[in-house]
Amino acid sequence: MKTRLGLPGGIAAELHTAFVRDTLEMASALGHPLELHTDQPCAAWPEFGGPRRLQVEGDLGARMLAAFARGPALILGGDAPGLPASHAASLLERPEDVAIGPAEDGGYWGILCRRPRPEMFAGVEWSTERALAQTAASARAAGLSVGFGERWFDVDDRASLRRLFDSPPRHTAEFLSRRQDVLHLLSDAHHAEAGRSGA
């Protein structure tokens, strides 16, 4: 869970669990085999009965390349839990070697790859507003065709978290029903930010 949300550790971990649960539920509706890749062994999401794999060492590009090396795949992150299944389904139908689901902040919510190349993520500045454009440029430089899906937002700050909470997916909504204090935290932070900007 991104530190820019400014949530206490226990709450952030619980929210992340809900985000991944919502993402798994959405992805299961696509009718394709699923794998869950994590950066360390964990017992979370016991309802997921598919394969679990540990991510390799390295940056995000290295981890995604290792996943693509197993065969054509669509990789979805856990920070866009409200993503409509139709967005992911349409990305799966793209004919290009690489199809990217753009996020509103310049990153991306998902990426499909049918022909991975070792250099396809060369020079990408991860977690920046340049990640989408740089990924597309690097993939093209590696000789791959690139297409794009529908735009969506990911949750990487409190403003996007408040936006998600306006219409939360099922497991995130269940989290909110248990943790009303998160809404108070966001409200207090919003008023503090507004006060600073008006000063």
142 touches 120 (CB < 8 A) = yes
Between 51-65, 144-158, 169-183, the lowest mean confidence (pLDDT) is in: 169-183
Q: What is the pLDDT of residues 150-176, one digit of tens each?
A: 999 999 988 999 999 999 999 999 999
Whether the per-residue pLDDT at 192 is higher than 60: the answer is no
Distances (CA, A) of 159 to 56, 84, 110, 136, 152: 32, 20, 21, 27, 14
What is the three-class DSSP state of 95?
Answer: coil
**Domain 3-148 is found in CATH 3.30.413.10:** no
Taken as a whole, the chain contains a residue count of 199
CA angle 122, 127, 131 (to 5 degrees): 45
Phi, psi (deg, nearest 5) at residue 85 = -60, -30
Mean pLDDT value of segment 83-89? 98
CA angle 82, 83, 87 (to 5 degrees): 160
How sure is the predictor about 183, in pLDDT bands with cuts at 50, 70 and 90? confident
Using DSSP bridges, classify how beta strands 36-38 and 52-54 pair: parallel, antiparallel or unpaired: parallel
Average model confidence (pLDDT) across the chain: 91
Whether the per-residue pLDDT at 87 is higher than 70: the answer is yes
**How many beta carbons lie within 10 A of that of residue 174, not counting itself?**
14
Q: What is the pLDDT at residue 160? A: 93
Q: What is the pLDDT at residue 184? A: 73
CA angle 5, 153, 176 (to 5 degrees): 50
Whether the per-residue pLDDT at 2 is higher than 70: the answer is no
Whether the per-residue pLDDT at 66 is higher than 70: the answer is yes
| Entry pTM | 0.90
Whether the per-residue pLDDT at 18 is higher than 50: the answer is yes
